[in-house]
Amino acid sequence: MGEMATVSAIAVVAVVLVVASLLRRAHRGECLVVTRHRRIVRIASGSTTLAIPGFHEVLEWPTDQIEIAIVVRSRSKDGQDVRVLATFSVDVDPPRAGAAYIDPRAVLHTALERRVADAVRARPAAWLADEQTGLRAATVGLRIDGLAGGVVTDVVIDEVDLLLHPGRPDDD
């Protein structure tokens, strides 16, 4: 009877370890999305979900505000080479079941770089750091749509540098 109890205890421990390895837990400020072939099949309702290796992949999706730091080099409206360092706070849209999973941080980072470069090209260099007409005014409240979406809630313009050397970033 002692051998049977030992084998049963080992089997129970093995089953518990296997089940525990299949569970995924969300970090603070994130939810879990379950994907199959990189398409979202469901959003985990709680902070823990079960993933079947080789069949499902469980990935994180931000639910709180995220910060995205960017560096953009462009030419201002008056032809000056400019480098902008900025940090954006973005409220990310929730994931949608059935949509393709693409890392929202990477998509929003790229979209913000494009938007800031457009804003730099639309303004003279002297206006870029101005609160009323500059980059902050052009980007706060900005809605980003696409593969992942969100709304810019705050912007900190860390630096706006005028580059004083030959060669233009937009030269073809």
**Radius of gyration for the chain, computed over Cα atoms and rounded to the nearest angstrom:** 24
For CA atoms 170, 109, 40, 20, give the dihedral sign.
Answer: positive
Integer angstrom CA distances of residue 74 from 103, 127, 131: 26, 14, 20
**Per-residue confidence (pLDDT) for residue 20, from 0 to 100:** 76
Calculate the alpha carbon distances from 49 to 52, 58, 90 in Å.
Answer: 10, 8, 26
CATH 3.40.190.10 is the classification of domain 64-162: no
Give me the pLDDT at residue 171, please. 57
Q: For position 30, what pLDDT does the model report?
A: 87
How far apart CA 30 and CA 26 sit, in angstroms, is 6
Q: Name residues of the chain where pLDDT drops below 50.
A: none
Check residue 4 and give its pLDDT.
86
Show me where the domains of the chain are located.
1-61, 64-162
C-alpha pair distances (Å), 4 with each of 1, 7, 14, 29: 5, 5, 15, 46
pLDDT of residue 170: 57
